[in-house]
């Protein structure tokens, strides 16, 4: 039996408040529900999914360094860091495995400041606007990228 491939699902600020934070924008699924869903689908796809959330930019950068150092594929929802964190963008650019940017809402249908992603240019791809389904689509895209 082959060992499951380790995958990070990294979440930036405020994503730990899913389910209570603006449910009309982010849906009713809680953060615990997101973790459960990513783990379930990950297992189905042959992944060992490690879901993490932080409100700390430095911590997110350290996780991206860890992923680069260990060639761990990443699903990344940078939250608000998407629009201005050049440090996070530079950490993402060091990737040594696929990195898929993910957003629950569609940033282009929201406030103008959300229309810019500093991470998009260094990501393998971006999935946005499908609610929690964006994570499912991103995990499936990772499976395709990795030949699974």
Catalytic residues: 26, 103
Establish whether 77 is an annotated binding residue: yes
The reply to whether 110 sits in an annotated binding site is: no
Q: How far apart are CA 148 and CA 145, in angstroms?
A: 8
- Residue 105 labelled as part of a binding site: yes
Residue ranges of alpha helices (H) inside the chain are: 23-26, 31-45, 57-69, 86-93, 133-145
Quick one: tokens of 93?
């650019």
Q: What is the DSSP string of 23-49?
A: HHHH-S--HHHHHHHHHHHHHHHTEEE
Flag whether 104 is marked binding: yes
Coil, strand or helix at 147: coil
Reading the block at residue 38, the tokens are 């990513």
Summarize the annotated binding site as residue ranges: 77, 83, 90, 104-105, 114
Summarize the annotated binding site for substrate as residue ranges: 77, 83, 90, 104-105, 114
């Amino acid at each position: 039996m082959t060992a499951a491939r380790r995958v990070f699902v990294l979440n930036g600020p405020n994503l730990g408040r899913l389910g209570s934070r603006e449910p009309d924008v982010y849906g009713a699924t809680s953060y615990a529900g997101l973790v459960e869903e990513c783990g379930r689908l990950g297992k189905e796809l042959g992944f060992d999914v490690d879901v993490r959330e932080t409100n700390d930019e430095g911590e997110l950068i350290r996780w991206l360094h860890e992923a680069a150092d260990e060639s761990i594929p990443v699903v990344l929802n940078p939250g608000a860091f998407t629009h201005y964190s050049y440090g996070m963008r530079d950490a993402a650019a060091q990737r040594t495995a696929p990195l898929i940017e993910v957003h629950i809402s569609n940033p282009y249908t929201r406030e103008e400041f959300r229309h810019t992603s500093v991470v998009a240019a260094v990501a393998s791809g971006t999935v946005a606007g499908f609610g929690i389904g964006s994570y499912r689509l991103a995990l499936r895209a990772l499976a395709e990228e990795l030949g699974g």
